Amino acid sequence: MLRLNIHAGPLKGVSRFNRLDWLDIGYKKLNRSADYIVVLFKVGEGVTRPVQLTGYPRWSGSAWDLAARAIALALSLDRGKPQEKVHPVEHGGKRHAFAEAMSAVLQHIPNSGLGVRQLGTIEILRDEVSDAVYGARIEEEFASTKLPESFLFAPKFLRPAELVMRAALMGLSGNIDELPPRPCLMKPPIELISGVQHVPVELLPEPARTGFRTWLCRRVKPAKEADFAVTAEAIPLSVFEQFQDSAV
C-alpha cells in the first residue's frame, strides 16, 4: 500500500501533530497493470467514499503521477462515477485561502513487517510577495530533485490534498490544471542469449531498474533451481515478467 501524508508547515517540521489530509492507495488487483482502491481522509471532515483507479501501469513512471491521479479521483465532483481528471477550482478572488507552507510524504507500507519506505516528498512554500503564488521542491526515489516554476493557486477554500496534487502536476508537466497522459506500460529492452530472451538490467529506465534489482536481492529461490545471478548483466525475460506482475 502507498500512503501520502500531508502536513502543515515545512518538511523539516512534519509530525503526527500537524498532519492534515492523508491518502491511502491500496491494491485491488496486483499485476503489471494494477487496480487500486483509493481512500482520502480529510482533516475536519472524515473519510471519503473509496474510489477505484484501474489499469495503471506499474514501474512505468513517476510515483507522483500515480498519487496525483489518486487525489484527482478522490476529489471528484461526481461521487457516483468519479472521474480521473482535475476539476475546476472555485477561485476566491481577493479573499482567497492560502497556506504559508505545506509538506507531503509518500510512503510504501508493506503488508507485513516494519519495512516502511519513503518514496518521495513535496515541500510547498508560499511566495514572499504574493500569497497566491507557490514554489515547490519535489523529491522522488531514483529520480533527481525537481524545482518547478512557481504557480498561481488562489481557491476560495483550500483543500490540502488539492494543493499537493497541483504542485505534483507542476513538477510532472508544468500544468496544474490537467493530468498529463498516463504513462505507457514499460516494455523492457530485449537481447537474445543462446536463443533465450533476456533483459539487460542496466538499460532499464528508472524506477524499474532499481526496483528490479531490489526485488531480485529479496527473492528466495533454492540454489538447485537458480537460473540466474542477481549481479548478472542480463536476466531472463520470464523472471522480469514475474517482477512486473508481483513486486510490491
pLDDT digits (tens, 9 = 90+) for 80-100: 789 999 999 999 888 999 999
How many percent of the chain have pLDDT more than 90? Answer: 78
pLDDT of residue 9 exceeding 70: yes
Task: Kindly report whether the global pTM for this prediction surpasses the value 0.85.
Answer: yes
Under DSSP, is residue 224 helix (H, G, I), strand (E, B) or coil?
helix
Model pLDDT, residue 217? 87
Model pLDDT, residue 129? 87
Report the chain's mean pLDDT, rounded to a whole number: 91
Reported as a pLDDT band with limits 50, 70 and 90, residue 118 is: very high
pLDDT of residue 144 exceeding 90: yes
Could you report the per-residue pLDDT of 21-43, keeping only the tens digit for each? 999 999 999 999 999 999 999 88
Reported as a pLDDT band with limits 50, 70 and 90, residue 113 is: low
Domain ranges of the chain: 2-172, 191-246
Could you report the per-residue pLDDT of 190-235, keeping only the tens digit for each? 999 999 999 999 999 999 999 999 899 887 554 444 455 555 689 9
